[in-house]
Amino acid sequence: MPAAEEQPAHEYRVLASETVFDGPIISLHRDTVAMPGGDQSVRDLVRHPGAVAVVAVDDEGRVVLLRQYRHPVGRYLWELPAGLRDADGEPPLATAKRELAEEAQLAAGRWSLLTTHYSSPGFCDEMVLVYLAEDLSPVDRPEGFTVEHEELDLTVERVPLTDAVQRVFDGDIRNAAAVVGLLAAAQARAVQPPLRPVDAS
Write out the CATH class of domain 51-191: alpha beta
Residue ranges of the domains in the chain? 4-47, 51-191
The pLDDT value recorded for residue 3 is: 53
Q: What is the pLDDT of residue 1?
A: 46
pLDDT score recorded for residue 157? 97
pTM of the entire predicted model: 0.91
Kindly list the catalytic residues: 151
The identity of residue 177, as a single letter, is: A
CB 120 within 8 A of CB 152: no
Any idea what DSSP says for residue 18?
E
Tens digit of each residue's pLDDT (9 = 90 or more) over 27-44? 999 999 999 989 999 999
In angstroms, the CA 111 to CA 132 distance is 6
